[in-house]
Amino acid sequence: MAAPAGPPSRKGSLAPPAAALLLGEPQPSHAVRVAVGEACGLKGSKSDTPVTVVHAEFNGVLLGESSKVDVLPDGTAEYNFTTSFEYSPDGPNSLDSIAQSPVLLTVTEVLPKEKRQKEEKTVPLGQAVVDLLPLLQGQCSFKVLAPLYAVPTSPLESLPPEAKCGLEVTVCVQEPLLSATQLSNGNLLSVTLEAAYSVPEAFVPTGPLQNYMACLQVPAVGEREFPLLFKNGVPKLGGEKEPLPRPKKWPLGNIMAPGALSIPSSFIVGGPYEDEDGELNRREDREFRIQSESVKKRIVWDMERRCYLDPAAVLVLQNRIAECCYWPVEVCRMPVVSSSKGKNSKTDKGDDDGQIFFHGVAYVNMVPLLYPGVKQIRGAFRVFAYKDSEVFEKTKNQHSVFRDLKPQISLIKEGQWVPGIGSPLSRAVPSRIQREDKEKITKDKESGRKQYVEAGTFLVMEIKLEKALVPKRLPEELTRRVKEMIPPRPPLPRRTAGAKKAVEDYHNQITSIAVTILSEYHELFGKQLPDRGAINHQTLEEQKCQLNFELNSSGKYFAFKEQLKYVVVKIVREKYLKTTAFESLEQFQAFLSELYVYLVDQMHVALNQVLSEEAAAPTPPSCTTDEQLWLFAREAQVSKDYKLASLYHQQRVARDQHNIQYWLDYGAFCLLLEETIKAQECFREALRLDPHHVQSLLLCGIVAVTLQRYEEAEIFFEDASCLEPSSVVVWTLSGLFYELQNNNIRAEMAFREANKLLQAQLAMERSIPEAAEGEGRKKQISAQCGRPLNPCPEASLPEEVEDSAASVVPEEDATAQQNRKPKNKEAAPKAPPPVSGLSRPPCTIFMKTVEFLMKVNAIQFVHMALAHELLSLQGGPSCDYYLALAQTYLLKEDFSKSEECLREAIRLDYVNPNVWAQKGHLCYLKGDLAEAKGCYERTVSFVVDAAEMHFVYLRLGSIYLEEKEYGMAKQTYLLACRNSASCLTWLGVGIACYRLGEMAEAEDALAEANALNNNNAEVWAYLALVCLQGGRQLESEQCYKYAVKLGLKTAALLQELRAAQQRLGFGDPSFSAEPAQQPPPPPRAATRAAASPGGQRGCEAGQDAAARPASPLRPPGRAGPRAPDRPL
């Protein structure tokens, strides 16, 4: 049976009696129950079978005491003791108390009564601690065997080390202490203060007792601050280094067993100085660190304090770090008040009131906690004199935490000093010495602060989070994505050849040769026939002789023979089944006669088909999709090659003139070039295809405003609001238009309607249950507006655009292929991506409208919406405001204003990958490649991609190529090829592979680039270099010819190409000298034969290519380099 709980030490914290728990009475839902079962390894002071009891204590409150239990001869005892305490979020036993305070179990021996003894004597045997941290990790119950540590002079000290002495403890709660949201979005902060090294000479372990303390404040929700106080530092003389690893200690003062002070499975492990995050981690500081940590005086705490952060507190923590990267950690030394003082102690206390001795401060840079994936920082931090002005300037803190806690920490009495923690000196100090020390302390008060700097004092501490504030993409995920980009190639399809197929191929070749001969005839004699179509026989014979002469002298006759060889061989093998040598010459001649007759007959069949109905040759299918053309247009637009971008847009429209989205994209591009009339034609063409297309109506209204045709614009906006009255963007644009017309009444009405719709959308999102949040977001209209979107509209309505995900670190330290199917009806929006660790600013109607306007390059309306956003915000502009403004300045090439806006955006939302990508673009355009590289690398390291990762990869890869980091360039370009392959991405891969000496992969990548765009001179130039390195003269000359013909503008590349030609002696058809002796071509020569101008390869090359395994960089069935096609 369990004894009733002992008297409470704090009002309201006593748990229900243990007997009631055993009887199964209902417990409060927030009761934490602690059950002590069997004990082992017990031993008494006067007997091996003593009578013992167990006391349970939590957070300084006695929870209860078990009944007396006899220890068995084997050292075991069954207590079956259960007690509990109330968990209260706002009470004394809060989540913070559970995080940093264990349950303390004390086993006490009850000695038998002697004669004339009124009360029983008790002797403590040992103590055990139970860490309640699993309750904050989602567990409802756990069971541990808590080691029982011996109290000094206890008989348990004589037990051998291998003997197991402990208590079996079970902790449980009826319901989890944390909800699902708290568990997933909350965090656990732990701060470990190891020691202060190289302390002033006044810090000596002799003299009166002193309490060495340190404290820092952890931001909580609202204006509250949670102080983490470290007391009872132990002064030590130098001479040896602190051991590693060593256990961390509980911040408790009521533990009698020295071993119980150590936190289970928690150690200080140290590490190289260079890997630390604080100060004094440079190579030149190494000698000072070693000397300070081994020779000089120090104050040792080795103490860990924990603090639970709920989701709101996590956001406040991130905001505080973003606002001010340095946090103050204050240190001081306070005298311990002797409990033996008399009346004079009050006077002394009055004299000391308000004084903080040796008040110093260390500035901890917390920014690394905002790096992706970083969960802890550890390092050394210098201690400076505490000055209010300096602390406020660096940390924005206006109050000293020690001054706020002065009433609590200044009256620490000598009798409350914890054994084994504080100074080991005697507690009794003569009053005369106290008065002398009092005078000395008062005298040293002013100079004490300076001694920290003179001594070079520094704190070594660790700040750790259970989960990183900013998640990081795992290396396994990056590896997986690269593997997905280069999948295993399927086996080559079996060749299905037969007699019918061989005859068809022969007909096709005859047709091709006939058309070519007819073209030669037309070139020689023209297409016009004489009168009545009659031709003189003699004239016909002369023309025939002249045509034969031209075909023979030009070599075309022999080319025709070679062209027919392959198909004739197929007929011999497939129709006549002749695959072996003939037995006799007569048999061979007979077969030739039969074959000749058959071929002539089939030639007549083919010619009759040609002459009867001469059909135009079919247009070869394009190897680029509409999405790729849009990507190529975006690449040309970003590179400011507007002529090429316009060509790509025109090609998209030419392919499908009934696609509304193609017209809208082309019109948005024209708006960027300020070609308003052309943009108006595009938008009106889209509106002609669908008069009820809301986005087309809005764009027509925007163009009408630009052309100052306000009556037309009003019709467009009003029609849009009638067709889609539930659109926030429609009402907001209407309000902006009416305000431009000074129609304040209608403008106010439109803005009010837009705000009402937005609030309804936000309320609908908040009403979705958390458990179904991921699935529910796919069924609702996204009301997120904080991230810039992909430049491709997803659907017909502005709200239905897809929010491109965004996730790096403060300054100190695309995917462009989208589902672009046009939709005339409402589309199902996709689930919004994970947001950054910071809470996103309130969504406003103007920022939603800015998203839409930035996509269509309506800069005039963007500035109008941003002006309203600036006026409507109560707490100042948001990160998205500055980001949008920076993008507009960047379009105008106003780099200074753009940089200023991006600086503010980073300050407000440091984990927004779009901000860092935009800053990288800014630095890239300014020519600051080093800064651009850092910004791009931060962008790539985020878990969530920026809006336009394609251009981040392209420019980052070009920087790597510029800095000759070819391996990194290759991997970066491959990442770009993964989601949005283009000529430029494969060209980057090819250049990197060529520079790395990987010629086979370089040729494969360049072939991919050539297949996507065979009008890129740089691709042909690098193909020429690859062919030169492979000793393939004909192919190198062809590639060089096309590179020059297409106007290669890169002087350095052209110079490198010509130098290689001069060195090898071939590659340029204009060489007059005999080419140098070439090495024999490698086996890949046939497989990579350069394409003829028609884009066709020889039959031998095709056979060798089929026999060779496909390269991992080239999709199956893709041919080698093609000659440039005529532009559409």
Structure confidence at residue 460 (pLDDT) = 92
The answer to whether 797 touches 694, Cβ cutoff 8 Å, is yes
Structure confidence at residue 633 (pLDDT) = 92
Rounded distance between C-alpha atoms, residue 812 and residue 843, angstroms: 29
> Would the pLDDT of 1087 be above 50?
no
Q: Rounded to 5 degrees, what angle do the CA atoms 945, 319, 457 make?
A: 115
CB neighbours of 783 closer than 8 A, spacing ≥ 6? 758, 761, 762, 765, 843
Render pLDDT for 819-853 as a digit per residue (tens, 0 to 9): 333 333 333 333 333 344 334 544 889 989 999 99
Alpha carbon separation from 941 to 475, 685, 947, 1085 (Å, rounded)? 10, 43, 14, 41
Render pLDDT for 374-390 as a digit per residue (tens, 0 to 9): 888 899 999 998 888 88
The answer to whether 381 touches 459, Cβ cutoff 8 Å, is yes
Render pLDDT for 447-494 as a digit per residue (tens, 0 to 9): 556 788 888 899 999 999 999 888 865 556 644 544 454 455 566 566
Rounded distance between C-alpha atoms, residue 744 and residue 731, angstroms: 14
Render pLDDT for 785-819 as a digit per residue (tens, 0 to 9): 333 333 333 333 444 333 333 333 333 333 333 33
Render pLDDT for 1046-1065 as a digit per residue (tens, 0 to 9): 888 888 998 898 888 888 88
**Averaged pLDDT for residues 231-249:** 87
Backbone phi, psi, residue 221, to 5°: -70, 140
- Which one, of 644, 678, 676, 683, lies nearest residue 662 by Cα? 683
Rounded distance between C-alpha atoms, residue 1069 and residue 1041, angstroms: 8
Phi-psi region of 60 (alpha: psi -120 to 50; beta: other; left: phi over 0): left
350 confidence band (pLDDT: 50, 70, 90): very low
Structure confidence at residue 223 (pLDDT) = 62
Lowest mean pLDDT among 55-64, 351-360, 643-652, 1044-1053: 351-360
**Averaged pLDDT for residues 254-283:** 84
Helix and strand numbers, DSSP H then E, in the chain: 38, 20
529 confidence band (pLDDT: 50, 70, 90): low
- Whether the link from the prior residue into 493 is cis, omega within 30° of 0, is no
Render pLDDT for 987-1000 as a digit per residue (tens, 0 to 9): 999 999 999 999 99
Burial of 25 (0-12, 13-18, 19+ CB in 10 A): exposed
> Can you tell me which residue has the tokens 């056979």?
1103
**Averaged pLDDT for residues 22-47:** 72
CB neighbours of 227 closer than 8 A, spacing ≥ 6? 215, 216, 217, 218, 401, 404, 405
Q: Name the pTM for this structure.
A: 0.50
Backbone phi, psi, residue 976, to 5°: -65, -40
> Can you tell me which residue has the tokens 């129709």?
575
Lowest mean pLDDT among 46-60, 601-615, 767-781: 767-781
Return mean pLDDT, the chain: 76
The answer to whether 986 touches 1008, Cβ cutoff 8 Å, is yes
**Averaged pLDDT for residues 397-424:** 56
Distance of CA 746 to the CA centre of its chain: 44
Render pLDDT for 107-125 as a digit per residue (tens, 0 to 9): 988 887 776 666 778 888 8
Give the largest Cα separation in the chain, rounded: 156
